[in-house]
Structure 1
Amino acid sequence: MASKYNDGDSAFTKRPSASHDDAYPRDCLHSKSNANRFPATPLGLRWLRSWPIVVLILFGILGTVGTTAIVSLFRIPTLPNCRAVFWPTASAALRLQCADSYAAEGSVKNLLAAIKLVDQLPADHPLRTDINQRIEGWASQVLDLAERSFEAGDLEGAIASARKIPAKTAAARLVEERIARWQKIWKEGEDTFNTAVAQLKKKDFQKAFSLSVKLLDVDNKYWATEKYNELTKLIGVARTDLKALSEALGFAKEGTVKGFTEALKRLKNINKESIFYAEAQSERKNIAKRMLQISEELLANRQLSSAQVLLSAIPRDTGINREIADFQIFVTAYQQAWIGSVDGLESAISRMKTLGKDRPRYAQGQRLIAQWEGELRNLTLLSQAQEQAGRGSTADLGSAISTARQISRDSPQWEEAAKQINKWQTRIETVEDRPILERGDRLAAVGTPDNLRAAIQEVRKISSGRTLRNEAENRIADWTGRIQRLEDQPLLDQARQRANTGDLAGAIAIASRIGQGRVLYNAAQDDIDGWQVQENGRLRLDEALTVAARGDVESLTRAIDLAQQVPSQSSNRDRADSQIDQWSWELLDQAESAAERSLDQAISIAGRIPSQAEAYETAQSQISAWQAARRRSVEDSQRPLPSAPGSDPNTGALPNTLQLAPPP
C-alpha cells in the first residue's frame, strides 16, 4: 500500500516548469528578418535558412507543449504519502484525501482506517456533513464485506468485521440483527452437516443423503455449495470405505494368516479423510491384537512355527510394537519351559522377569511366572513321591500317593503324577485284596451250594473300583452259575421226564419254576416252547375230532379249520393232515348228494375243501362239471325247443351224480 502512495508529496510541492521560451536558446527564436545581420551560416546550419522547415519545427514544439499542458490539467494529482503524515497538524482536506485513498482499497481494514481518520475531526467542522456521508457509505461497505465473508464461509471473520462498524452509523443498527441471522443460518447448516456425518457413522446412508439435500436450502453460499459438495463426496467415499471395511472384517473372521493379511491391507487403504478412518484404524489394531493373541495361544500349545508365521504377518504400524517385543521374550521363555526340567523352568522364569512393570504384557508374564513356579513345586513333589514309592511297602506307597496328589490337576505334571498314582494304587490294592480272592477260591473248591455262597460273600469284600474287582466279579458270576445249575438241573430233568411220558402240561408247570435270569432259564424256556407247541397241537386236533363227529357240512368245515391250526412242528401234524383228507372226502360226498337238489349248494360245499387235501383236485373237477351243467340249464330255459313225443328232456345230459369213490 505504501508503494502506491510514495510519490504523493509531489502533487503538492511541484510547480509548473519553466516556459517553453526558457527551454530553448533565445537565438533560435529571432525573426528571419534579422538573418542578414549575421555572417553566413555554416554548412551544418544552412537548413535554418529554409523557413518552411523552421515553421514546421515550431509547430511541432508548440503542439508538444500544449498537449503536455492539457494532460497536466486533467490528470488527478498524485496522492500524498499518507503513511508519513503527522496527523495532529494535518488539514481536513488531507485527511479526506487519504481517507478516500484508504477506502479505495476496498478492504475492511482500510475502510475502518478511513472512517477512523476522518471521524477524529470535530463535530462542528465545516466538512462534517460530507464526512458523515462518507462514513455511512464506508460503514455500509464494511457490512457488505462482512456479508461476503459470511457467504464465503468465514462466520467469525464476518462477525468480527461487523462489530467494528462505528456505533453511531446506520449500518451499526443492522449489525446485531445481521449477526443473529448469520448465526442462525450457520447453525442450521452446521447441524444438518453434523447430523449427516453422524448418520454416516451409523452407516445410515439414506438419511445422510436426505440431509445433504437439505444443505441446498441453506441461505448461505458456503453451506449450499462447498459444504454440500464436501458432504456428497464424503457420502460417496464412505460407501466405498464401508464396503472395504465390511470385506476386511469378513476376511479377518476366517482366522487364517491369509485372511488377516488381506483384512489389514484393505483397512490400510481407507483414507484419512474417510468418515470410517478412525473405525478402520481401530479395527486394524484389533485385528493385530487378535493375531498376537492367536500367536500366544499357538505358542502356549507348542506350535512355535505357526506362531512365528502369524506374528511376522502383523504390520509394525498398528501400534502394538511393544506387545510384539514382549512376545519375543515369551517365545524364548516358553522354549526353556518346554524342556520340562527344573533348570528349564528356572531359565524360563528368569527370562520372563526381564519384563518390567511398564510393559504391556507384564500381567501375562506374571501369570506365566506363577504357573512355572507352580510347575517347579510340582516337579519337586513328584520327585519326592517317586522316592517314597521306591521303598516298596504299602505304607510308603500310600505316602507317595498323598504327596503326588498335592500336584495341581491343571498342571503339565499332573498327567505323569496321575499315571504314577494309578500304578501305586494298583500295587496297594493288589497286595490288600489278593488274599481275599484266594480265600474265596478255597471255599468254592468244595463245590457245595453253601460253600459257593460263602465264597461269594468273601470276594464281595473287594469294593467296586478296586484293581481286583473285575476278577472278583468274574468269580461271583461263575460261582452263582454253579449254584443255580445245582439247584435247577433237577427241576429241568424232572420236567423232561414228564414230557417223555406224555404229560406235557405237567412238564411245562415244572420247568416254569426256573426263574428268569438263572443259568438254566433259557434251556427251560426252549423246552417249554416245544412242549407248548405239542400241547397246542393235541388240543386243536382233539377239538377238531369232537366237532367232526357231528358229521354235517358246517361241522366238517370247522373241523378242517381247527386241524389246519395244528403247528407244523407238532407231533400231531401228520394225524391232522390225515383227518383233513378224510373230512374232505366226506364233504365231497355230501356235495354230490346235494347236487341232486341244487347245483349251487353242491358247488358251495365242494368249494370248502382245502387245497392241500387229497380230494381237492376231484372236487375242482366236479365243481367245473356242475358249473357247466348249470350254464346249459340256464341257456335251455331261455331258448325252449320243441320236444318229440315221448322224449326225455334229460337225455344226453350229464347225470346228477358221478359214482366216484375215494381211492382204496
Structure 2
Amino acid sequence: MSPKRDPRHPSKPIPVPRSRTQSRRVPQSPGPSPSYAAVASGDVASGDVASGDVASAISKEPIKRPGLRGLMFFRWLGSWQFLLLTTLAILTGTLAFAVTSLFRMPNLPNCRAIFWPTASAAMRLQCAESYAGQGSVDFLLEAIELVEKLPDDHPLRAEINTKVETWSSQILTLADEQFHLGELETAIATAQKIPPNTAAANEVETSINRWKRIWDEGSETFEEAKEKLIEGNFKDAFGLSVRLLDVSNDHWSKTKYNELTKLIGLAREDSRKLGKVKRLISRGTVSSFKEAIKLLSSIKSESVLYKDAQELKKTAAKDMLRVAENALARQELSQAEEILAAIPRNQGLDQEIADFQVFTEAYRRAWSGDALGLDAAINRLQSLSKERPLYDRAQALMGRWRSEIKALAQLDAARQIAAQGNVSDLRSAIVQAKQVGTDNPRWDEVSDQISQWEKRVQTTEDQPILVRADQLAGVGTPQALRQAIQEARRINPNRALGDDAKKRIDRWQARIEAIEDRPLIEEARRLAAAGDLAGAIAAASRISPDRSLYGEVKNDLDSWRAQERNRTLLRDANSRARSGNATDLASAISTANQISSSSAQYANAIQQINRWSWDLLSLAESESRNSLDAAIRLAAQIPSQAEAYPSAQSRIQAWQAEVQAAEQQTELIETESPQDFADTVPTVGGGLESQQFPE
C-alpha cells in the first residue's frame, strides 16, 4: 500500500508519526516489499526491510516498536471492514467493464488492427457493418470491399449480398445529395464506384445522364442570363432567373438562383454607373475623370459588368493621359499634373505614366519657344528607349520640335533680309519665309510675319495712287470726282489700302450724286408747295433708291403720295355720291372713310360723310315703310364718326323691335287651331257669320 498524499501537495507523502523512542528510520534496501505478516506483527517497519533479509536486519539494528497510531492503522488494514470495502470496489469495477464491453460495438481501430487473411467471416461482417455505420462514401465502399472478398458459396453470402445492395443504394443516395449540393463531378465519381454486380449499379448511368442533363439546363440558363445582363437586357435576365426555379437541382434552383438575383440587382446598379461614367469621361475635365474613376472602383469583382468596368477604366486612363498631354501643350502644368495624379495605377499603364513624367520635363523646356528650349526638350525625350510604351509618341514629338527649330531658323534669316525695309528686300524676305511649309507647327507665326511684309509692300506701291486720286477729287466737280474714282479703283480691294480706296470712292460717288440730284429735290418741293402734288411726285421719283439723296427725299415723297391718294379718294367719293341713291351714298361714305386723319383732306372728308349719312338715314326712313330689314341695313352703314350715327342707331333699335313684334304675332297666328281659322272665313253671302279671337 503506497503512502498517503497531501491534498495540498500531491507530490509529497503525508509523514507518518514516529514513536518518541524511535531515533531514526532504517534505510530502504532494494528488493521486494516485506510481507503483510511481518508488518502486522510489528517486527519490521513497513517498507524498510525486505522479507528475505529479516534476520540480517534484526542483527544489525535494534527492533523498533511502532507508535500507537501506527499500530492502530495496521490493525485496521487487517480488519474485515477493509476487506469488505476492497471486495466491493473490485466487484463494481469488474461489473462496469463487463457491461461496457457487452454493449459497445468493436471500434474502427480494433478492426484496423485485425489480420484479415486469418479473420473469420463473422468478424469481417461485423467490422463491415461498423464501417457502414459511419455513413460516408469511403466507409461504405470499404465495408463492401471487406465482405466481397468472401467466396460466393459462403454460408453468409445471402446476408452479405443483402447488405451490399443496401450499402450500394446508400452510396447512390449520397451521390445524389452531392449532386444537389452542386458537386456534379464528385457525384459522378461517387456513383461510378458502386459495385457493378448490384441493383444500384443499373441506375448509375441513368442517374448520371439525368444529372448531366439537369446540370446543363441550369448552367445554360445561368450563363445566358449573365450574357443578357452584360447586354443590359435586365427583363430577359430576370425571366431566365425564374426558369432556374424549375431546375430539378437544389444547387441551381436555390443557391444559383439567389446568386443570379443578386447579380441582376448588382448589374442594374452597375449599368447606371457605367452610363454615368461614359458621360463623365466625355466631358474631359479633371473633376469628371476623378468622379468616373471613383464610380468604376465601386463596381465589385462579382458583378457581371466588372470586366467592362475594368476595360472602361483602362480607356479612361488612356484618355486622361491624352488630356494631360494636351494640357501640357497649352502650358497648363497644374492641370496636367492633377490629371496625372488621378490616373488609376495597376491598369497596365504604369510605364506610360512614368514616360509621361519625361514628357512633362520636355514640355517645360519647350515652352520657352526658342530654338535652345526646343533642342533641350528633344534631348530629354531621347532618353526614352525603343521598348518604352511612349517611344513612338516621343519620336513624333521630337520630329515636330525639329520642324519648329528649322522654321525658326528660316524665319530668322527672312527677318534679316527684310531689315532694310525696301520693297525688293521685303519681297525676298517673303520668298525666304514661304519655304516653311504650311503643315509646320510654326506656320501661323510665319504667316503673320509674311502678311505684315506684304502689307508694307502693297502700301508702298499703292500710296502714290491714293495721293493722285485725292488731288483730282480736290477740284470738286463731277468730272474731277469721276476721274478720282477711276484712279482709286486701280487699287485691288484685297490689297492693304483697298479699304481706304473704297471709302474714298464711296464718298466721292455720294458727292457726285448730291450735285446731280439736288436740283430735282428743290423742283419737287416747289411743285408741292404750289399744290401740284402729281408734278412733285414725278420729279422726286426720278431719284432712285440707290442714290445718296434718296433718304432725304423719301419722307417728302411718301407724304406727297399720301396726300395725292387722299385727294383721289375724296374725288371718287364725291363722284359716287352725285347719283343720290342709297347704294352710291353708302359706297361714297366707305371711300371717304379711308382718308387718313392726319391728311389735309380729312376735315372736308368728315363734312361730306356727315351730309351723306343724313341723306342715307332719310332714305332708310323711306325704305322702312316697305321693308324694315332693308331700312336696318341702310342705317347700319352709317360710320360711328358721323353726326347721324346716334339717330341711326336709335332708329335701328326701333325698327328691330317692330320686326320682333311682327314675328311674335306671326307665331301666335300659326299656333291657332284649324276650326278657329275656319270660323273667320266669309260665307257665300260675303259676310262673316262669326268672328272669334284667341283668348
Tell me which interval the TM-score lies in, with the shorter structure as reference length. Answer: 0.5 to 0.7
Answer yes or no: is 1:424 the counterpart of 2:457: no
Give the structure 2 partner of residue 369 of structure 1.
Answer: 398
Provide the rounded CA distance (Å) in 1 between the counterparts of 2:174 and 2:597: 124
Answer yes or no: is 1:185 the counterpart of 2:195: no
Answer yes or no: is 1:176 the counterpart of 2:205: yes
Answer yes or no: is 1:152 the counterpart of 2:175: no
Give the structure 2 partner of residue 462 of structure 1.
Answer: 491
Answer yes or no: is 1:305 the counterpart of 2:334: yes
Provide the rounded CA distance (Å) in 1 between the counterparts of 2:576 and 2:512: 50
Provide the rounded CA distance (Å) in 1 between the counterparts of 2:528 and 2:72: 188
SS at match of 1:390: helix
Give the structure 1 partner of residue 194 of structure 2.
Answer: 165
Change (3 A) 1:546 1:401: same
Give the structure 1 partner of residue 55 of structure 2.
Answer: none
Answer yes or no: is 1:108 the counterpart of 2:137: yes
* Deviations 1:345-380, CA, capped at 9 Å, x for gaps: 112222223333443434433332232222222212
Provide the rounded CA distance (Å) in 2 between the counterparts of 1:376 and 1:47: 124
Give the structure 2 partner of residue 333 of structure 1.
Answer: 362
Give the structure 1 partner of residue 424 of structure 2.
Answer: 395
| Displacement after TM superposition at 1:467 (Å) | 1.7
Provide the rounded CA distance (Å) in 1 between the counterparts of 2:266 and 2:598: 92
| Displacement after TM superposition at 1:157 (Å) | 1.0
Provide the rounded CA distance (Å) in 1 between the counterparts of 2:89 and 2:573: 173
Give the structure 1 partner of residue 671 of structure 2.
Answer: none
Higher RCO, 1 vs 2 (CA within 8 Å, ≥6 residues apart): 1
Give the one of 339, 356, 359 matched to 2:385. Answer: 356
Provide the rounded CA distance (Å) in 2 between the counterparts of 1:526 and 1:443: 34
Bigger shift: residues 348-357 or 335-344: 348-357
Provide the rounded CA distance (Å) in 2 between the counterparts of 1:50 and 1:542: 174
- 8 A contact 2:433–2:450 mirrored in 1: yes
Give the structure 2 partner of residue 475 of structure 1.
Answer: 504
SS at match of 2:196: coil
Give the structure 2 partner of residue 14 of structure 1.
Answer: none
Give the structure 2 partner of residue 404 of structure 1.
Answer: 433
Amino acid at match of 1:176: E
Provide the rounded CA distance (Å) in 1 between the counterparts of 2:362 and 2:426: 36
Amino acid at match of 1:459: A
Amino acid at match of 2:255: E
Provide the rounded CA distance (Å) in 1 between the counterparts of 2:369 and 2:79: 132
Change (3 A) 1:369 1:145: same
| Displacement after TM superposition at 1:391 (Å) | 3.7
Provide the rounded CA distance (Å) in 2 between the counterparts of 1:43 and 1:541: 171
Matches within 5 A, 1:31-430: 95-96=124-125, 99-125=128-154, 127-203=156-232, 208-209=237-238, 211-235=240-264, 257-409=286-438, 413-430=442-459
Provide the rounded CA distance (Å) in 2 between the counterparts of 1:84 and 1:49: 45
Runs of 5+ in structure 1 lacking a partner? Answer: 1-24, 28-41, 599-607, 624-664
- 8 A contact 1:336–1:345 mirrored in 2: yes
Bigger shift: residues 380-389 or 446-455: 446-455
Give the structure 2 partner of residue 653 of structure 1.
Answer: none
- 8 A contact 2:105–2:130 mirrored in 1: no
Provide the rounded CA distance (Å) in 2 between the counterparts of 1:433 and 1:88: 130
Change (3 A) 1:210 1:533: closer
* Deviations 1:13-70, CA, capped at 9 Å, x for gaps: xxxxxxxxxxxx9x9xxxxxxxxxxxxxx99999999999989988998898788788
Change (3 A) 1:140 1:295: same
Change (3 A) 1:477 1:336: same
Amino acid at match of 1:188: E
SS at match of 1:310: helix
| Displacement after TM superposition at 1:389 (Å) | 1.8
Change (3 A) 1:183 1:300: same
| Displacement after TM superposition at 1:172 (Å) | 1.0
* Deviations 1:637-656, CA, capped at 9 Å, x for gaps: xxxxxxxxxxxxxxxxxxxx
| Displacement after TM superposition at 1:462 (Å) | 1.4
- 8 A contact 1:99–1:117 mirrored in 2: yes
| Displacement after TM superposition at 1:329 (Å) | 1.8
- 8 A contact 1:537–1:567 mirrored in 2: no
Amino acid at match of 2:411: L
* Deviations 1:495-524, CA, capped at 9 Å, x for gaps: 788889998766765665455534555666
Provide the rounded CA distance (Å) in 2 between the counterparts of 1:474 and 1:192: 83
| Displacement after TM superposition at 1:394 (Å) | 2.3
Provide the rounded CA distance (Å) in 2 between the counterparts of 1:495 and 1:263: 78
Provide the rounded CA distance (Å) in 1 between the counterparts of 2:362 and 2:180: 66
SS at match of 2:395: helix
Change (3 A) 1:510 1:270: closer
* Deviations 1:406-427, CA, capped at 9 Å, x for gaps: 4455765334323322221112
SS at match of 2:185: helix
Provide the rounded CA distance (Å) in 2 between the counterparts of 1:78 and 1:500: 145
- 8 A contact 2:384–2:391 mirrored in 1: yes
Bigger shift: residues 115-124 or 372-381: 115-124
Provide the rounded CA distance (Å) in 2 between the counterparts of 1:346 and 1:318: 33
Change (3 A) 1:71 1:194: closer
* Deviations 1:277-310, CA, capped at 9 Å, x for gaps: 3344444444444443332332222221222233
Provide the rounded CA distance (Å) in 1 between the counterparts of 2:293 and 2:542: 82
- 8 A contact 1:512–1:524 mirrored in 2: no
SS at match of 2:323: helix
Change (3 A) 1:444 1:196: closer
Change (3 A) 1:423 1:57: closer
Provide the rounded CA distance (Å) in 2 between the counterparts of 1:485 and 1:61: 155
Runs of 5+ in structure 2 lacking a partner? Answer: 1-34, 38-70, 623-637, 648-695
- 8 A contact 1:143–1:162 mirrored in 2: yes
| Displacement after TM superposition at 1:469 (Å) | 2.0
* Deviations 1:386-412, CA, capped at 9 Å, x for gaps: 122224332332232233344455765
Give the one of 514, 517, 522 matched to 2:546. Answer: 517
- Normalised by the size of structure 1, how large is the TM-score? 0.64
Change (3 A) 1:328 1:452: same
Bigger shift: residues 214-223 or 485-494: 485-494
Bigger shift: residues 126-135 or 297-306: 126-135
Could you say what the CA RMSD is over the residues aligned between the two structures, in angstroms?
A: 5.6
Give the structure 2 partner of residue 604 of structure 1.
Answer: none
- 8 A contact 2:106–2:127 mirrored in 1: no
- 8 A contact 1:485–1:520 mirrored in 2: yes
| Displacement after TM superposition at 1:343 (Å) | 0.9
